Chain A
Amino acid sequence: AQSVTQLGSHVSVSEGALVLLRCNYSSSVPPYLFWYVQYPNQGLQLLLKYTTGATLVKGINGFEAEFKKSETSFHLTKPSAHMSDAAEYFCAVSDLGFGNEKLTFGTGTRLTIIP
């Protein structure tokens, strides 16, 4: 089974600073990888996903993530943090196999933006 590790349950950055949220996965083959964001009292929303092809994936709200097979990582970045980015972020991996749509989620990272 796949697994995902998110380093840092809480991250604080100043407004305008670089955002870096870390995600490492375990898999014997390249998986499909996702980042979701959850705002208070809402469900999870897809930020971006990696399936195949280009390893640098761009998502909504200025976020991007790079798939690094050698490091089994899929870290999420944003060059300049905005107050509206304060939320909880989840990395997820898809179990492979036709017809298997399950996602395994990390434990989440709460991002706080300091004015």
Chain B
Amino acid sequence: DAGVIQSPRHEVTEMGQEVTLRCKPISGHNSLFWYRQTMMRGLELLIYFNNNVPIDDSGMPEDRFSAKMPNASFSTLKIQPSEPRDSAVYFCASSPTGDSQPQHFGDGTRLSIL
């Protein structure tokens, strides 16, 4: 079975540019999560969706970050404009609905803002 698919795997861009990260969750999973991982701050939850609706976006750093889930099989995380401090590995995860369900992670997008 296909797992969570993220693209691109690596992204290098200049400060001020728009960055779009993409995620395809596992088919049938109702919840989708975006995380950011850095050495300094560890793993941070940015936002999560349930049935395509944003439930909790309290982890989104600021207005430069936005996330959408137009349908059950696709989500995007956008940064505009990007800044060097946004450099991190961004993970997408999905899970079935329910508080005992484990999350399944993609392999991440390594983002470098120059």
A interface list, Cβ under 8 A from B: 32, 34, 36, 41-46, 49, 51, 90, 94-103, 105, 107-108
Q: Which residues of chain B from 1 to 40 have any CB-CB distance to chain A below 8 Å in the complex?
A: 4, 31, 33
- Chain A binding surface, main DSSP class: loop
Least CB distance from B80 to A in Å reads 25
Contact A43 B93 (CB under 8 A): yes
B interface list, Cβ under 8 A from A: 4, 31, 33, 42-43, 45, 48, 50, 56, 91, 93, 95, 97-108
Give CA–CA (A92, B103) in the complex, Å.
11
What residue in chain B is nearest A95 (Cβ atoms)? B99
What residue in chain B is nearest A9 (Cβ atoms)? B42
B48 cross-chain contacts in A, Cβ below 8 A: 101-102
B45 cross-chain contacts in A, Cβ below 8 A: 102-103
Give CA–CA (A54, B33) in the complex, Å.
29
B31 cross-chain contacts in A, Cβ below 8 A: 101
Give CA–CA (A111, B64) in the complex, Å.
36
